[in-house]
Chain A
């Protein structure tokens, strides 16, 4: 077998066998499963028979006699005086009472009396009150259908068209937001965990001199390429496990929870681009991390240095929301899409918030690939020069000089 492939296989198995990989890869499906379980339990608990709420009212205007039974098992009972109502409240006959004041029509003022300490009245109670008042106010004034429309003037139904005028496959909204968002979170987690493992592995190889045995068997470029590809394979394995479990979980969720999840149609293009950027982003970081690992004096030092690259990668996450809030096609987002180190996160964020022209995607992917290959060649040179300098790390000037000489 080709030596690069041998190293790739070894690195892949080494990474996959670490506890960190195991925990991270399983964490996502397990946490999601737990969340579904907790949701079920909570739902089960709230599905207990709804407690009947009895609201007393004193009608100072007159005419509020009907519609006393409101949805959610809420009933309204009339009282003549406030004393009577207070007595009923203290006797626990009613849960609370309201006074429809004489100037209600002019001011909308309703006094509410309750024994409970609360932040604000429950939404259920409030809408029941509104519905009770509105129905009585409009009673006899208009048709019941119109009265219903006054209560709920619109059910908004958004439909997005594409440039040909047909209904677009990507309808935006929550689904379009959550998928790229998940990809970006997963990529970040994967980069953090695997770069840690990679730097530790490199540190160990330097410390125990296996590095010298390796370099007496293969070239620095073969070693580096093998390591980067091994890491890439690990990332691929991770994302495949996540996607498979996501498909499974989504099916589980739509049958148990339903709601928006049953309508969740993840566009195929989004998945494909997600995987492409995940893998490319992952590879770029693997390349950068190996260079950092060669330069760093110890695993800990390397990890500090690696922040230099990790920070710009997260940058789009914070900066873009700010720029794109008002103008989704802000020039900053285009620039970030082209810079390889910020590209993956930017593309995920842009996908979530708006759209990316095809030419930008094509150029961005090309630049990312060039950066990976170029980075690999430069890293191999840095690596070869500095990997055997134990206990001290070179200055920036030395690195630049070595690159020039190489």
Chain B
């Protein structure tokens, strides 16, 4: 059973399709990246998953069934541009929102203490949310998302506005969740976060799915067929190489598209060239993103 199964959902606002036929699945214990530029339809997709808005067409199954109160209790959701009740104390916020997820208040209070201790914020437990720094507030919001030990966690731009120390703390906690078997959906437009954390991704642009699959597969598909080489000795003519670009300290060799990189390596080795680095270039997700989104421009 998949943690999330989204089937061909469509949503229109004012006759414009904001989400157009999006389908994907997320399994337990994986971090799934939902990526795309601002305004692509990520947040609308998430809201339909959370049953906050209804899709015009298509359906969503969470843990094998459509969303009910029981399944809502098993989900943790961190919305974008978030905040909390400013006048409420940290501990009250955690306990109230956990109890709305069906957690017993006493248990929630105990678990809140544990989590606050984990992020070194136990001394701030009695403070009002408005007295916290922005970064601290965001960490508390993350704790609100996970306090009831959900089996599915949806994070919308969780790293936005976090300093490097808190970002690292958050990253570690996300990985801990994944290792415990929690399904995690990470929605973001920052590709480096996705590359560091995600196993599979769905890329949305203008409401439509433009990429979907394993990150490594996607990367190899979008390989731009070149090799980075650092070496000593004269290269001369190499079979299958149709061009080269000299960079500082290394050369980029462009292949003809039929020759495999290992053929090139063989040729270099037989010529007795000393090789320090030989790397089939894979584009960063950022480059793929720009390439795909750029096509639409």
- Residue numbers of A with Cβ under 8 A of B are 1, 3, 6-7, 10, 14, 17, 204, 207-210, 212-219, 384, 388
Kindly provide the distance from the CB of A46 to the nearest chain B CB, expressed in whole angstroms.
49
B81 and A209: CB pair below 8 A?
yes
A204 and B86: CB pair below 8 A?
yes
Q: Residues of A contacting B100 with CB < 8 Å?
A: 3, 6-7, 214, 217-218
B83 and A208: CB pair below 8 A?
yes
- Complexed CA–CA distance, A1 and B51 (Å): 23
Kindly provide the distance from the CB of B81 to the nearest chain A CB, expressed in whole angstroms.
6
B96 and A6: CB pair below 8 A?
yes
A218 and B72: CB pair below 8 A?
yes
Q: Residues of A contacting B289 with CB < 8 Å?
A: none
B86 and A388: CB pair below 8 A?
no
Decide yes or no whether B211 CB sits under 8 A from chain A.
no
B96 and A207: CB pair below 8 A?
no
* Smallest CB gap from B100: residue in A: A217
Decide yes or no whether B52 CB sits under 8 A from chain A.
yes
Interface residue from B51, B53, B69, B79 paired with A213 (Cβ < 8 Å): B79
- Complexed CA–CA distance, A208 and B77 (Å): 14
Question: Contacts A216-B72, A217-B97 hold; do A210 and B52 have CB atoms under 8 A apart?
Answer: no
A209 and B52: CB pair below 8 A?
no
A207 and B83: CB pair below 8 A?
yes
1/0 per position for B49-78, CB-CB distance to A under 8 A? Answer: 011110000000000000001001101010
- Complexed CA–CA distance, A393 and B104 (Å): 37
A217 and B72: CB pair below 8 A?
yes
B52 and A3: CB pair below 8 A?
no
In the A-B complex, the 10 residue pairs with the closest CB atoms: A208-B83, A212-B79, A216-B77, A217-B100, A209-B79, A216-B50, A209-B82, A215-B52, A217-B101, A6-B99
What would 11 A/B residue contacts be, using CB atoms closer than 8 Å?
A: A14-B85, A204-B86, A209-B82, A213-B79, A213-B97, A215-B51, A215-B52, A216-B51, A217-B97, A218-B100, A388-B52
User: Chain B contact residues (Cβ within 8 angstroms of A): what range?
Assistant: 20 to 34
B97 and A3: CB pair below 8 A?
no
Interface residue from A14, A215, A384 paired with B50 (Cβ < 8 Å): A215
Q: Residues of B contacting A207 with CB < 8 Å?
A: 83
A212 and B83: CB pair below 8 A?
no
- Complexed CA–CA distance, A70 and B37 (Å): 97
* Smallest CB gap from A217: residue in B: B100
Decide yes or no whether B84 CB sits under 8 A from chain A.
yes
B83 and A210: CB pair below 8 A?
yes
Q: Residues of A contacting B75 with CB < 8 Å?
A: 216
Q: Residues of A contacting B190 with CB < 8 Å?
A: none
Kindly provide the distance from the CB of B65 to the nearest chain A CB, expressed in whole angstroms.
16
Question: Contacts A3-B100, A6-B96, A218-B72 hold; do A210 and B50 have CB atoms under 8 A apart?
Answer: no
Interface residue from A1, A17, A210, A388 paired with B53 (Cβ < 8 Å): A388
Kindly provide the distance from the CB of B287 to the nearest chain A CB, expressed in whole angstroms.
32
Decide yes or no whether B219 CB sits under 8 A from chain A.
no
Q: Residues of A contacting B174 with CB < 8 Å?
A: none
- Complexed CA–CA distance, A3 and B103 (Å): 10
Decide yes or no whether B171 CB sits under 8 A from chain A.
no
Q: Residues of B contacting A214 with CB < 8 Å?
A: 100
A216 and B96: CB pair below 8 A?
no
Decide yes or no whether B80 CB sits under 8 A from chain A.
yes
Give residues 67-124 of B contacting A (CB, 8 Å).
Answer: 69, 72-73, 75, 77, 79-87, 96-97, 99-102, 105
Interface residue from B72, B79, B96 paired with A10 (Cβ < 8 Å): B96
Give residues 18-61 of B contacting A (CB, 8 Å).
Answer: 47, 50-53
Interface residue from B47, B77, B83, B96 paired with A388 (Cβ < 8 Å): B47
Decide yes or no whether B202 CB sits under 8 A from chain A.
no
A212 and B69: CB pair below 8 A?
no
Decide yes or no whether B144 CB sits under 8 A from chain A.
yes
A204 and B50: CB pair below 8 A?
no
Q: Residues of A contacting B82 with CB < 8 Å?
A: 208-210, 212-213
Q: Residues of A contacting B84 with CB < 8 Å?
A: 208, 210
Interface residue from A204, A209, A218 paired with B69 (Cβ < 8 Å): A218
Interface residue from A1, A14, A219 paired with B99 (Cβ < 8 Å): A1
Question: Contacts A217-B101, A219-B69, A388-B47 hold; do A212 and B52 have CB atoms under 8 A apart?
Answer: yes
Kindly provide the distance from the CB of A18 to the nearest chain B CB, expressed in whole angstroms.
9
- Complexed CA–CA distance, A353 and B80 (Å): 57
* Smallest CB gap from B53: residue in A: A388
- Complexed CA–CA distance, A23 and B39 (Å): 45
Question: Contacts A215-B50, A217-B72, A388-B53 hold; do A209 and B96 have CB atoms under 8 A apart?
Answer: no
Kindly provide the distance from the CB of A14 to the nearest chain B CB, expressed in whole angstroms.
8
- Complexed CA–CA distance, A209 and B51 (Å): 15
* Smallest CB gap from A218: residue in B: B100
* Smallest CB gap from B85: residue in A: A210
1/0 per position for B150-186, CB-CB distance to A under 8 A? Answer: 0000000000000000000000000000000000000
Kindly provide the distance from the CB of A207 to the nearest chain B CB, expressed in whole angstroms.
7
- Complexed CA–CA distance, A234 and B81 (Å): 31
Q: Residues of A contacting B96 with CB < 8 Å?
A: 6, 10
The interface centre, meaning the residue of A3, A204, A212, A214 with most chain B CB atoms within 10 A of its CB, is A212
A213 and B144: CB pair below 8 A?
yes
* Smallest CB gap from B97: residue in A: A213
* Smallest CB gap from B80: residue in A: A209
Q: Residues of B contacting A388 with CB < 8 Å?
A: 47, 52-53
Kindly provide the distance from the CB of B150 to the nearest chain A CB, expressed in whole angstroms.
10
The interface centre, meaning the residue of A17, A207, A216 with most chain B CB atoms within 10 A of its CB, is A216
Kindly provide the distance from the CB of A229 to the nearest chain B CB, expressed in whole angstroms.
15
Q: Residues of A contacting B97 with CB < 8 Å?
A: 213, 217
Q: Residues of A contacting B102 with CB < 8 Å?
A: 3
Starting from the known contacts A208-B84, A216-B72, 16 additional A-B residue pairs (CB-CB under 8 Å) come to: A3-B69, A10-B96, A204-B85, A208-B86, A212-B47, A212-B52, A212-B77, A212-B79, A213-B77, A213-B79, A213-B97, A217-B100, A217-B101, A218-B100, A219-B69, A384-B53
